[in-house]
A and B are shown apart, each in its own frame.
Chain A
């Protein structure tokens, strides 16, 4: 709901599939009809000594499979009673990090496990700097109405 609210606030429309087909929500730019698939991943962040750590489990088959339109992941973190900054990243970029930088570990059941850690302004996962993706709404400019 938090992610949907953010997209709505930016002027996009949001659709939720009636049947679970793998994508959590579709975000639609009404004027052009352009839509994108969004996978929302939510985790309760745990405080560490210097920041927070959140664990996510992604289906590997969805991570490695190209889609049209491209799929976006939005990583949501809840720390006690507040939301931390969202992390927005395309499936393609996440797959590239996974393949090229060994980001995440593969579970026996075919899931990619990510631990996203934030300390001050730095957000990393398996040594990959994800800071540029934190609150990166640059691909979702506000739509004037």
Chain B
């Protein structure tokens, strides 16, 4: 499976995460697992407090969006978190764990 892309929107009150359309389509073709959500909103405060204790939140976000564990996704190709406006890569799971 090729690398998945998570798009992030930054609002006045927090982040909104969704799978990039082609990534979403890829997962649908492979059979959507149960227990996924289509989008996740996390306030800036929540992200900050969470990461102080548990580390990067991206890895938990991708599990909720895909139904797959972080480890499974990395074995299958990994994922990136991208700002869709600037195309800046905010996080690359493969680069982080090389």
Contact = CB atoms under 8 A, between A and B. Distances in A.
Contacts of A95: 21
Interface string B68-87: 00000000000000001100
A64 B84 contact: yes
Interface in B1-43: 7-9, 11, 14, 16-18, 20-22, 24-25, 38-39, 41
A67 B11 contact: yes
Contacts, number: 43
B7 A64 contact: yes
A61 B11 CA distance: 13
Nearest to A101: B21
A66 B8 contact: yes
Contact of A61 (B14, B21, B38, B85): B85
A89 to B, nearest CB: 13
Nearest to A21: B12
Contacts of B16: 65-68
Interface residues of B, number: 18
Interface of B: 7-9, 11, 14, 16-18, 20-22, 24-25, 38-39, 41, 84-85
A6 interface: no
Contact of A100 (B11, B25, B85): B25
B21 A96 contact: yes
A42 to B, nearest CB: 24
Interface in A79-138: 92, 95-96, 98-100
A99 B17 contact: no
A96 B9 contact: no
